[in-house]
Amino acid sequence: AQTVTQSQPEMSVQEAETVTLSCTYDTSESNYYLFWYKQPPSRQMILVIRQEAYKQQNATENRFSVNFQKAAKSFSLKISDSQLGDTAMYFCAFGETSGSRLTFGEGTQLTVNP
Amino acid sequence: AAGVIQSPRHLIKEKRETATLKCYPIPRHDTVYWYQQGPGQDPQFLISFYEKMQSDKGSIPDRFSAQQFSDYHSELNMSSLELGDSALYFCASSWEGTVRQWTQYFGPGTRLLVL
């Protein structure tokens, strides 16, 4: 079974600064997907960014980018120019290619301070 | 863009009652997933359906059942409700098309409170 670990339960950053959230996972699969989801106080689960394991290029979505290290089984999220609206719980998630379940990490609560 | 629709958004039930949660996936999405998120926890996978057939099963209690209908909407039926069933229930959908294949998009969730 796959496992996902987020070792930072809480993090804080000043507005306009950059912050990196860590995620490691364990799997015997060679092809899979990795995701970061954001859950603000409304508790809606919002997709932030997606990475396909067979792609070496790191995914980027505007201010959000990932550092995907397949050999190290590491998938960190970098948020640049942090905004107050980025305050949320961030979940790292692992998904197999067959469209089966997502396995989530425990989450990192990010607070952006003015 | 159309999103996943869940109803009801909030539900209050007594112990031992039954509840039915509904999910309408994004148009053209062929796979539906159900997750349960307790307070302060990460979402836990319950069950999924692909083309109206059960495709995967997680830690879903025997008191719960689910199905996907011909129009691809899904229902999660929960019987003999217990206090511990109080949680946020998410539905998500995905498709095997070439654009963002197998990316799960979540609905707003149904908040179930069992008294």
Residue B96 and residue B31 in contact, taking contact as beta carbons nearer than 8 Å = yes
For position A97, what pLDDT does the model report? Answer: 73
For position B107, what pLDDT does the model report? Answer: 97
For position B6, what pLDDT does the model report? Answer: 98
Are A35 and B50 within 8 A, CB to CB? no
For position B75, what pLDDT does the model report? Answer: 98
Q: How confident is the model at residue B94 (pLDDT cuts 50, 70, 90)?
A: very high
Task: Write out the H or E segment, with its range, that includes residue A64.
Answer: strand A64-69
For position A96, what pLDDT does the model report? Answer: 84
Nearest CA in chain B to A90: B42
Backbone φ and ψ for A21, nearest 5 degrees, come out as -105, 135
Are B43 and A107 within 8 A, CB to CB? no
Amino acid at A48: V
- Which residues on chain B place their C-beta less than 8 Å from a C-beta of chain A? 31, 33, 35, 37, 42-43, 45, 48, 50, 55-56, 58, 88, 90, 92, 94, 96, 100, 102-106, 108-109
Judged against a pLDDT cut of 80, whether residue B99 lies above it is answered with: no
Provide the token pair at B78.
Answer: 């929960």
Q: Which chain B residues are closer than 8 Å to A104 by Cβ?
A: 42-43
Task: Name residue B67's beta-bridge partners.
Answer: B75
Judged against a pLDDT cut of 90, whether residue B97 lies above it is answered with: no
Selected for mutation to probe chain B from A6, A29, A54, A100 (highest B CB count within 10 Å) is: A100
Kindly provide the residue ranges of all beta strands, DSSP E only, lying in B38-85, ordered along the sequence: 44-50, 53-57, 64-68, 74-78
Asked if A33 reaches chain B (Cβ–Cβ under 8 Å), the answer is yes
Q: Which chain A residues are closer than 8 Å to B108 by Cβ?
A: 44
Q: HSE, CB side, 13 Å, CA atoms: give it for residue B13.
A: 24
Q: How many CB pairs under 8 A join A and B?
A: 56
Mean pLDDT of B67-92: 97
Provide the token pair at A82.
Answer: 């942090």
For position A12, what pLDDT does the model report? Answer: 98
Pick out chain A residues at pLDDT < 50.
none
For position B2, what pLDDT does the model report? Answer: 86
CA distance B73 to A109: 33
Asked if A1 reaches chain B (Cβ–Cβ under 8 Å), the answer is no
Q: Which chain B residues are closer than 8 Å to A45 by Cβ?
A: 43, 90, 92, 106, 109
